[in-house]
A and B are shown apart, each in its own frame.
Chain A
């Protein structure tokens, strides 16, 4: 099956710093990548949808200036959490949809802890 690699798998950062999370499709080209956030015992909440070469579409309530998404190539999308605060601590998961495909495949997720 299609492989999506997300890095890092976990990160601890100080409040006020920025953290970048990478999402790579390893064996396919991804037209669309999705970024989710999941709090403990909650469902996946879609943050934004990014299409290669265009601006990301953010869901209502998600601050686009705080969560910067770049999808510069068909195999890489990045999410940067700027000026992180403890309330940003969560499990961030990306998924990628292959060009012409219907299913999206998940990365391993990134556990972010802001102290």
Chain B
């Protein structure tokens, strides 16, 4: 059974700090990795995706993938209160059906 694990949090960081969100997965055949942000009562929205080992940067967001360790992370630089949300990690293998983690709640306090 494919599993995606995330610490449910909450992760609390001060405004302007770096928030680090982590995710591990069980299926070594996983090929695609996604980070979604979900505000309370809303649908998830895609923030980043990464396919290759290493870092991928997009604005204040950096996704990091280490397939050997089966680990993917999301760094948010200069965190803002508006970044407060639940962050879902999703992992996909050869099919187009992703497996979602339970999400990590992030709180950015002023």
Q: Is the CB of B41 within 8 A of A111?
A: yes
- Chain B hits for A46, CB < 8 A: 97
Q: Is the CB of A104 within 8 A of B32?
A: no
On whether A108 and B42 interact (CB within 8 A), knowing A43-B88, A102-B32, A102-B96, the answer reads yes
Number of interface residues of A (CB under 8 A): 21
Whether A49 sits at the interface, judged by CB under 8 Å, is yes
Of B88, B96, B102, most A-chain CB atoms within 10 Å: B96
Q: Is the CB of B102 within 8 A of A104?
A: no
Of B36, B46, B101, most A-chain CB atoms within 10 Å: B46
Main secondary structure of the interface of A (DSSP, over half): strand
Q: How far is the CA of A46 from the CA of B44 in the complex (A)?
A: 14
Whether A71 sits at the interface, judged by CB under 8 Å, is no
Q: How far is the CA of A98 from the CA of B97 in the complex (A)?
A: 13
Number of interface residues of B (CB under 8 A): 19
Q: Is the CB of B102 within 8 A of A108?
A: no
Q: Is the CB of A104 within 8 A of B43?
A: no
* Residue of B whose beta carbon sits closest to that of A44: B100
Taking a contact as CB atoms closer than 8 A, the residue among A6, A32, A97, A103 that contacts B46 in the complex is A103
Q: Is the CB of A43 within 8 A of B101?
A: yes
- The 10 listed contacts between A and B (C-beta, < 8 Å) are A44-B44, A44-B88, A93-B43, A97-B96, A102-B96, A103-B49, A104-B96, A106-B45, A106-B46, A108-B42
